[in-house]
Structure 1
């Protein structure tokens, strides 16, 4: 009976050891699974971080390109503004000169139509020397 008692105690001990090893193995399996899950999550985060960095680099290069284009357009705008200012100055100069050219054109027409020197001086308000010059030049052409 004693032997039976030892066998029973031994079988309970073996059963308990088996159960314990299964529990520890399963626990270790859980820890391994947990570590693998954490590693997968970390890998996914690293991959997502790489993708975000690549997108950020793309955006940076795009912004740099847009910035360069804006600088080019500003330079073109400044150049065109300078040209416009120059043309405005030229137009103003022409407008100042134009009344005189109209006077001379009118005087030439009058000479061609047969007006005398006194009439040209009076109507076009030209000094005698200019009126004589126009009169002599255009009378020869006629």
Structure 2
């Protein structure tokens, strides 16, 4: 009889252990499924972020190209403006007068050297003082 009770107890103990193994296995399977779902979600987010980065890169390249075009146009206009400054004889007089003002010439000297009317010479001097302030 003792042998039967020991045998029964060992079978019961084996069943309890088997139940614990099954429960633990189910928890591990559930945890694995959760981790796989997290991995799929993360991969989806990564895919979205990669496409957004690609769109931003494309936009930046487009902006860069437009910026280069604007800089080239600005350079062309600056060169054109420089050429026109020397084409106009009156502009040469005013350029010289401005240079004299910047160098500190007085009003009468500017009028005499550049043959400007007093009002224009005074205006140049006034504008130069405003720039300097």
Establish whether TM, by shorter chain, passes 0.5. Answer: yes
Residue 48, structure 1, aligned to residue 35, structure 2: no
Using the size of structure 2 for normalisation, the TM-score is 0.64
**C-alpha distance 35-101 of structure 1, shift in aligned 2 (>3 A):** closer
Using the TM superposition, give the Cα deviation of residue 78 of structure 1 relative to its aligned residue in structure 2, in angstroms.
Answer: 0.2
What RMSD, in angstroms, separates the aligned Cα atoms of the two structures? 1.9
**Deviation string, structure 1 residues 42-83 (Cα, Å, up to 9, x no partner):** 111111111111111111111111111110110010000011
- Structure 2: unaligned runs, 5 residues or longer: 94-133
Match of 1:84 in 2: 74
Q: 2:52 aligns with which of 38, 51, 62?
A: 62
Larger radius of gyration: 1
Residue 74, structure 1, aligned to residue 64, structure 2: yes
Residue 36, structure 1, aligned to residue 26, structure 2: yes
Using the size of structure 1 for normalisation, the TM-score is 0.60
Match of 1:21 in 2: 11
SS of the residue 1:59 aligns to = helix
Using the TM superposition, give the Cα deviation of residue 101 of structure 1 relative to its aligned residue in structure 2, in angstroms.
Answer: 8.4
Q: How many residues align?
A: 93
The one of the two structures with greater contact order (alpha-carbon pairs below 8 A, sep at least 6) is 1
**Deviation string, structure 1 residues 86-132 (Cα, Å, up to 9, x no partner):** 111111121111116899xxxxxxxxxxxxxxxxxxxxxxxxxxxxx
